[in-house]
Amino acid sequence: MDGQVEARVSHEVDEWLRWLPRWRPGTHRGRVRLCKRCFGSPILSAAGLADGVPHGVQHAFSMRMKSIIDSEVDEYTSRNLPLLHREIRLAEDRKARRPYRAGEGLDPEFAGLELDPEPVDDQPFLFTLGGLEEQAAASALEPPPRAFSEEEKAALRTEVKLADDFAKQIGRRICIAVALESSRLRTSVDDLVEPQIAELLADLDRELDSPSWPTL
Ligand SMILES: [Zn+2]
């Protein structure tokens, strides 16, 4: 083990800590769906950020760690898994030809979040970003995907499994590395996030006590 993953974790933790003072409690409507990246994440658990931490704060952390896994797996794939590497490149080329791609090039704090708000039954949206992207993809002229032989399929499945095993291995190394940082992470959340939540709750209390509310 060359320590590259651990060095990247340390860099991303520093970046996240630099971002943390800018976090503010969201004023938007609470999300109904659970975030796939954050809910039950072993990395957030290892970092000590699984409980009692607002989702926006967790999500920014999850996406930074995901970026490490993605780039490590990309490197591994390009070095060791020629079939998978080729298929990924072809898929990326197809995607790059689409005229409109929602959700790309976002900062880690926003990447991977739902682009559109939750739909409301009796208030349909005129358009959604996801819908525009689908339309753009459908209108782009794409050649039909090539058919694979059985041997190619089996070889690709083996490479996908190797890439998956490698991603899990990187995930475990990240867990160990963030566990070592957990007290520093938790202290920062207590110092920077907790006071804002306390203030928000105090505001809410004042609002509820306000004389403009009818007394029951
Ligand atoms: Zn999330």
What pLDDT, in 10s, does the model give residues 162-182? 999 999 999 999 999 999 999
C-alpha of residue 61 to centroid of ligand 1, in Å? 9
Q: Return the pLDDT at 117.
A: 64
C-alpha of residue 141 to centroid of ligand 1, in Å? 34
Four-residue CA torsion sign, 157, 161, 166, 168: positive
C-alpha of residue 101 to centroid of ligand 1, in Å? 21
C-alpha of residue 205 to centroid of ligand 1, in Å? 28
C-alpha of residue 179 to centroid of ligand 1, in Å? 19
- List Cα–Cα distances, 129 to 120, 139, 197, in angstroms: 16, 15, 31
Q: How confident is the model at residue 115 (pLDDT cuts 50, 70, 90)?
A: low
Digit-coded pLDDT (tens) for 32-54: 678 999 999 999 999 999 998 99
C-alpha of residue 39 to centroid of ligand 1, in Å? 7
User: What's the mean pLDDT in 113-132?
Assistant: 66
C-alpha of residue 91 to centroid of ligand 1, in Å? 26
Q: Reduced to 3 states, what is the DSSP secondary structure of residue 123?
A: strand
Q: For residue 62, which of 198, 165, 184, 53 has the smallest C-alpha distance?
A: 53
User: Quick one: what percent of the chain has pLDDT higher than 70?
Assistant: 78
123 beta partners = 120
